[in-house]
Amino acid sequence: MKTLEVGRCKALVKVDDDFEPPVGASLSVSSSGHVRWLKSTGEKRPSGSYVYTQGYLGRLIMGCPKGQTVLFIDRDKLNLQKENLKIVERGVNVRAQGGQRGGFKGVHFCKKRNKWIAQITHNYKCFSLGGFDDEYHAASAYNQAAVRLHGEHAYINQMPEDRINA
């Protein structure tokens, strides 16, 4: 493994030892946290600006075909080692991303019932998993349903060791 400094922010990107960026390409980190590459084709438009080719570096590394996308197994978009990347159908990647900024995915507090509510969405339908006295039990219910519905691509809430079997 080696690291590359990318963009003005000098983000450290992990890549395999044998990886070399495209010749003449510049690398940057997008607002969504993905590493992008940009390279001039050398052609000029009638307006005088140059034509560029661009893309996500993870897709380039994996040779990802159209209609599919790259899943970051450890959810770290700056870890571009092949062992951390997997080509999947687009819908699978959306399920696997998670996206919670705080608390647990699929869990919220209902003031009216004074309970932690667990719910999960599958095939555009929302399923209620019940009300719980604490958020850890609700997160555990979400985890079980996620594994049942999404299999190996399920987003699993990470909980402290002492709360997993609480």
Provide the token pair at 7.
Answer: 């963009």
Q: State percent of the chain over pLDDT 70.
A: 89
Domain tally for the chain?
A: 2
Task: Spell out the residues 6+ positions from residue 47 whose beta carbon is closer than 8 angstroms to its own.
Answer: none
Longest dimension (CA), the chain: 67
Q: What is the pTM of this model?
A: 0.57
Residues 77 and 72: their CA atoms lie apart, in Å, by: 6
Residue 165 pLDDT greater than 60, yes or no: no
Could you tell me the end-to-end alpha-carbon distance of the chain, in angstroms, rounded to an integer?
Answer: 39
> Do 77 and 59 form a contact (C-beta atoms < 8 A)?
no
142 and 61 together in one domain: no
In this predicted model, what pLDDT tens digit does every residue of 142-164 receive, in sequence order? Answer: 999 999 998 888 888 888 766 65
Whether the predicted pLDDT of 102 surpasses 70? no
Report the C-alpha gap between 136 and 134 in whole angstroms.
Answer: 6
CATH number at residue 82: 3.90.75
Q: What are 64-87's pLDDT values in tens digits?
A: 998 888 888 887 889 999 999 988
Least confident among 8-17, 130-139, 143-152: 8-17
Q: Which of 53, 73, 92 is the last residue of a domain?
A: 92
End residue of a domain, out of 92, 125, 142:
92
